[in-house]
Amino acid sequence: MRRLLFVMNPISGDIDKASVQELIETICAERGRTAHFYETSGEDDLNRLRAYLQQHPQDAVFAAGGDGTVNLVAQALSDTELPLGIVPLGSGNGLSKDLGIPQDVEEALQLIWQHEVLRVDTLMVSGHFTAHLADLGFNALIVERFAEGDTRGPGAYVRIALQEYMRYQPARYRVVTDSETWEGEAFMLTVANARTFGSNVVINPASRMDDGRFEVCVIEPFPATAAPGILYQLYTDGFDESAYTRRLQCRWVRIEVVGETAVRVQVDGEPLHLPTPVEATINPQNLRVLVPAAG
C-alpha cells in the first residue's frame, strides 16, 4: 500500500483538520507512502468520489472523519477490492470501535503499515447503505435532535436523551424476518450488523460482522424503575439478560410501524424519515476493511 487517499469533510466536527492533514502527511512521508486528500462538498459526494477513484487509482482509501464520512467511503468501496481504512474523528465513531481501531489519530494511522484485511457484511435499509447500525424509535429520535443542535460530544447526547425520555411514547411494530415474526410495542428497535453504538452501548452482543446475517435488537417498553438496570446491562454486554430485550437473527427483515405511514430512522448516524414498512437486507462480505494486526 503506497498510494493512499484520505477523504475528509472540511466543515464537520470541532477538530482542526489542517493539523490532522499535516500529521497524516508527516507519517506517510516517514513510511514511504504517498498521501492524497479528497474533501467532500455535500453535493453528490458518492458519485464524485467514485469518479475520482476511477481517474486516480489508489491502494487504500481512509475515511478521516465521523460516521457520515465512514458511511460515504464504505459505500464507494463496497463490491470492490479496494480496502477501507478509518481515522476516527467524529463524536461516536461506532464502526471503528467495533473493528478495534484505536480512537487516537496517530495510533489509528498505524493501519498504514500494520494491518489485516477483513471482509465484512453491509446492509441496505430501505435503499440506504448501512455499514454499521440503523434503528427506529427512541435512539433515532435522539440522533435527530442531536443533529439539529449546535453542541457536540457525549454530554450533549446524554442531555438530549434525558429530556426526551420523560415524554417519549413507544410505537407498535410488526417485524417479519426470513425465520420468524414478532409483533409488539418497542422503546427502540435496532437493525444491527455490529455490536456497539458510538456511545459504547452494546446493543448486539456476540454479533459477527462477516457471517451473512444481522440482528434486529428490540428493547420493549419498561418501567422507570427498570431503567438503571437496563442501562447497566447495555454497558456490560448484558443485553440478553434483560426481561425487556430480544434479538431476532435474520438475512432480511420487513418492519411495519402499526398505524403509521412514515417513521423516523437513523442510518449510521444520519437521521431520516422513511415510509413504512422499512426493509433491510444483508450484503455478505462485500466490503474490505483494514483492522489492527492480531498480536
Contact 217, 247 (CB under 8 A): yes
Say yes or no: 175 and 263 in one domain. Answer: yes
Say yes or no: 59 and 155 in one domain. Answer: no
Say yes or no: 109 and 132 in one domain. Answer: no
- 163's CB contacts (< 8 A; 6+ apart) are none
Say yes or no: 103 and 185 in one domain. Answer: no
In DSSP terms, 80 is beta-bridged to: none
pLDDT mean over 270-277? 94
Q: Sign (positive/negative) of CA torsion 66, 67, 72, 76?
A: positive
pLDDT in tens, 229-239: 998 999 888 99
Say yes or no: 89 and 18 in one domain. Answer: yes
pLDDT in tens, 193-223: 999 887 788 999 988 999 999 999 999 999 9
pLDDT in tens, 133-163: 999 999 999 888 877 776 666 667 777 878 8
> Does the reported pTM lie above 0.85?
yes
Radius of gyration of the chain (CA): 19
Residue 12 has what pLDDT?
66
Q: 93: domain CATH number?
A: 3.40.50.10330
Residue 154 has what pLDDT?
63
Contact 289, 116 (CB under 8 A): no
Q: 279: domain CATH number?
A: 2.60.200.40
Cell 462477516 belongs to residue: 210
Strands laid side by side in the 133-137 sheet: 245-250, 214-219, 188-192, 133-137, 262-267, 270-275
Say yes or no: 142 and 266 in one domain. Answer: yes
Pick the residue with more confidence: 153 or 178? 178
Say yes or no: 160 and 16 in one domain. Answer: no
Using CA atoms, how far apart are residues 81 and 67, in angstroms rounded to an integer? Answer: 22
In DSSP terms, 247 is beta-bridged to: 217
The rounded percent of the chain whose pLDDT value lies above 70 is 96
Say yes or no: 110 and 153 in one domain. Answer: no
Residue 150 has what pLDDT?
67
Integer distance in angstroms from the first to the last C-alpha of the chain?
21
Host domain of residue 79: 3-121+287-291
Say yes or no: 53 and 94 in one domain. Answer: yes
pLDDT mean over 266-281? 95
- Domain count within the chain: 2
What residue type is 245 in one-letter code?
T
Average pLDDT, the chain: 92
| Helix extents (H) in 115-226 | 138-148, 154-165
Using CA atoms, how far apart are residues 4 and 290, in angstroms rounded to an integer? Answer: 13
Say yes or no: 138 and 278 in one domain. Answer: yes
pLDDT mean over 56-85? 95
Using CA atoms, how far apart are residues 78 and 22, in angstroms rounded to an integer? Answer: 28
When pLDDT is cut at 50, 70 and 90, the band that residue 268 belongs to is: very high
Say yes or no: 95 and 224 in one domain. Answer: no
pLDDT mean over 104-117? 95
pLDDT mean over 167-196? 95
Say yes or no: 266 and 213 in one domain. Answer: yes
